[in-house]
C-alpha cells in the first residue's frame, strides 16, 4: 500500500481523452485523464459520471444547461443524462466509475483504459 501521486501519474502520458487507471476503490476505477477540445455527446445508462478538476477548466454541456468546473470542483452527471465534456485548455481530471464502464457509454466506441 502506497500513496498515489496524481501529478506523477499524469506526467507519464500526453494523450487526450484516454483515461489511465491509477487505483481501485470498492469495485470502482480511480482514473486520471488529460482533456482538451470536445468529447462526444453520450450517456451512461447504468451509472453516474464523476468528474473532479485537478487543473485547467472543464465545461460539461447538458441537454438544458452548461456547467463549468475549476480546480478542486466536483460534478456528478446522473446516470442516463446525455452530456459532453469539453475543455478549451488542457485540463487534468480525476474520474471515478465502476470498473469496466466505457467512457463513451458504448463499448464499441470507448477508449481502452490502461493501468499505470
15-73 pLDDT, tens digit per residue, is 999 999 999 999 999 999 999 999 999 999 999 999 999 999 999 999 999 999 999 99
User: Per-residue pLDDT tens for 73-112?
Assistant: 999 999 999 999 999 999 999 999 998 887 767 777 777 7
The answer on pLDDT for 115 being more than 90 is no
CA distance 88 to 56: 9
Contact (Cβ atoms closer than 8 angstroms) between residue 56 and residue 101: no
For residue 105, which of 77, 80, 75 has the smallest C-alpha distance?
80
CA distances from 21 to 26, 34, 70, 77 (A): 14, 12, 22, 20
User: 89 or 115: which carries more pLDDT confidence?
Assistant: 89
Residue 6 in this model has a pLDDT that exceeds 80: yes
- Residue in the structure block whose three cell numbers are 443524462: 81
Which CATH number is 6-115 given? 2.60.120.10
The answer to whether the CB of 68 falls within 8 A of the CB of 57 is: yes
Contact 39, 17 (CB under 8 A): yes
List the chain domain ranges.
6-115
Amino acid at each position: 500500500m502506497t500513496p498515489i501521486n496524481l501529478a506523477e501519474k499524469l506526467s507519464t502520458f500526453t494523450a487526450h481523452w484516454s483515461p489511465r487507471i491509477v487505483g481501485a476503490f470498492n469495485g470502482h476505477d480511480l482514473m486520471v485523464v488529460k482533456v482538451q477540445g470536445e468529447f462526444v455527446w453520450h450517456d451512461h445508462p447504468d451509472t453516474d459520471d464523476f468528474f473532479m478538476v485537478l487543473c485547467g477548466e472543464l465545461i460539461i454541456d447538458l441537454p438544458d444547461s452548461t456547467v463549468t468546473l475549476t480546480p478542486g470542483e466536483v460534478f456528478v452527471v446522473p446516470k442516463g443524462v446525455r452530456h459532453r465534456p469539453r475543455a478549451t485548455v488542457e485540463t487534468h481530471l480525476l474520474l471515478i466509475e465502476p470498473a469496466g464502464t466505457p467512457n463513451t457509454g458504448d463499448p464499441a466506441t470507448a477508449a481502452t483504459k490502461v493501468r499505470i
